[in-house]
């Protein structure tokens, strides 16, 4: 039997700068405003309670039919367990979804609970990632554990259930493959990344005149029997050291999956630089660029093997790098220009 802990305080622990730009207007009510007071009052255990909260996260966003708030709080004196909450304003603010410390639920129930929040936001025309990208990530994690072990249990109390009527449309962010139902799916370490579940970047990287498809994927931990299909070519082009080429078991949540139109080969390219680029660019980690441009010619001065389309990426040093297919070496490489940031 597997026992895991539901990841409470997700927004408090999330990496800064990873939330994508969104059409919805999100605001955080400043301290002392009536809106903030009303939301926090709705989280109190009883009317008239004087408990003070430490609000790690508080966002308000308007949907198609109602206004919602997402909050991660702890009681200042730890009088009881804090957690994450979704509130809805229909006259007054009320909690409609919450995960707090304490009890246990099986992983399948917990995964369905997180999925209900994603479905509700999608039905309301709200991008779940605007609320918190890691809501989807926790759903993926719980669903994977549930598929691998029917006896899996999760530590954490689940709150009110969102009515099915509030989940009235399909969730574009919840692809059916996200919730594994068969043993083959359950063992895979590759899942659509919660920030980019359906985004495909196209570029003719291999020079056959046809676009190659590039996707951002989420790499799950290599525990509990999960693995990578042997047909994948796994590499870390950002680090030439042989010891860096194998996919690590932990701590590698974001990678690039490139489908070659010429050979049909699937390349899984992993490095912390993928996530760094996503954070620096504040959107997609890669941008397709043509091989016959001034930008390409500039890279070619340092990397003469860069002859075709390539993928432009950012680094935390302020220098853009190019990910490209080196036909002579038959592999993906990264061009690090000789310049001072």
Co-location of 270 and 153 in the same domain: no
User: How many domains does the chain fold into?
Assistant: 2
Using a 10 angstrom Cβ sphere, with 0-12 exposed, 13-18 middle and 19 or more buried, the burial of residue 234 is middle
Co-location of 219 and 165 in the same domain: no
Could you tell me the pTM of the whole model? Answer: 0.54
Is residue 328 a part of any domain in this protein? Answer: yes
Is residue 250 a part of any domain in this protein? Answer: yes
Q: Are 29 and 87 in contact (CB under 8 A)?
A: no
Beta carbons within 10 angstroms of residue 75's beta carbon:
17
Is residue 119 a part of any domain in this protein? Answer: yes
DSSP category for residue 338: S
DSSP 71-139: EEEEETT-SS--EEEEEEEESEEEEEEEEEEEEEEEHHHHHHHHHHHHHHHHHTT--HHHH-HHHHHHH
Nearest to 313 by CA among 267, 254, 262: 254
Last residue of a domain, one of 144, 159, 186: 186
Co-location of 114 and 247 in the same domain: no
The per-residue pLDDT string of the chain (341 residues; one tens digit each, 9 = 90 and over) reads 666 667 654 444 333 333 333 445 799 999 999 999 999 999 987 777 778 888 999 999 999 999 999 999 988 887 777 899 999 998 899 999 999 987 788 888 998 899 899 989 989 999 888 888 778 878 888 887 787 677 888 888 899 999 888 876 555 544 444 443 333 334 577 877 767 767 899 999 999 999 999 999 888 766 545 677 778 899 999 999 999 998 877 656 789 999 999 999 999 999 999 999 998 987 799 999 999 999 999 999 999 999 999 999 999 999 999 999 999 999 999 999 986 54
Residues 6+ apart with CB under 8 A from 48: none
Is residue 229 a part of any domain in this protein? Answer: yes
Q: Which domain holds residue 297?
A: 201-335
Co-location of 26 and 155 in the same domain: yes
CA distance 85 to 94: 10
Last residue of a domain, one of 139, 154, 186: 186
Q: Are 142 and 6 in contact (CB under 8 A)?
A: yes
Is residue 10 a part of any domain in this protein? Answer: yes
């Amino acid at each position: 039997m597997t026992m895991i802990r539901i990841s409470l305080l997700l927004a408090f622990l999330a990496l800064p700068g990873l939330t994508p730009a969104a059409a919805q207007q999100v605001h955080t009510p400043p301290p002392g405003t009536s809106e903030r007071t009303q939301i926090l009052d709705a989280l109190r255990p009883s009317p008239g309670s004087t408990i003070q909260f430490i609000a790690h996260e508080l966002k308000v966003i308007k949907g198609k039919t109602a206004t919602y708030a997402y909050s991660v709080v702890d009681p200042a004196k730890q009088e009881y367990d804090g957690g994450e909450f979704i509130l809805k304003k229909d006259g007054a603010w009320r909690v409609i979804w919450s995960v707090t410390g304490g009890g246990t639920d099986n992983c399948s129930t917990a995964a369905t609970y997180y999925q209900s929040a994603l479905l509700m936001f999608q039905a309301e025309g709200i991008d779940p990632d605007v609320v918190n990208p890691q809501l989807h990530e926790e759903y993926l994690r719980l669903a994977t554990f549930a598929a691998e072990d029917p006896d899996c249990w999760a530590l954490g109390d689940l709150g009110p259930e969102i009515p099915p009527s509030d989940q009235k449309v399909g969730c574009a962010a919840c692809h059916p493959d996200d919730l594994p139902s068969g043993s083959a799916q359950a063992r895979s370490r590759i899942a659509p990344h919660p920030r980019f579940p359906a985004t495909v970047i196209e570029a003719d990287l291999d020079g056959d005149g046809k676009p190659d498809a590039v996707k951002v994927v989420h790499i799950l931990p290599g525990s509990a029997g999960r693995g990578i299909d042997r047909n994948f070519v796994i590499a870390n082009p950002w680090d030439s050291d042989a010891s860096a080429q194998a996919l690590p078991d932990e701590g590698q949540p974001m990678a690039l999956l490139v489908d070659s139109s010429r050979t049909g080969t699937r390349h899984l390219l992993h490095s912390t630089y993928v996530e760094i680029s996503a954070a620096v660019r504040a959107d997609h980690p890669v941008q397709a660029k043509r091989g016959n441009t001034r930008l390409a010619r500039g890279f070619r001065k340092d990397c003469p093997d860069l002859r075709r389309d390539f993928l432009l990426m950012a680094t935390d040093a302020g220098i853009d790098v190019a990910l490209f297919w080196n036909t002579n070496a038959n592999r993906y490489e990264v061009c690090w220009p000789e310049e001072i940031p």
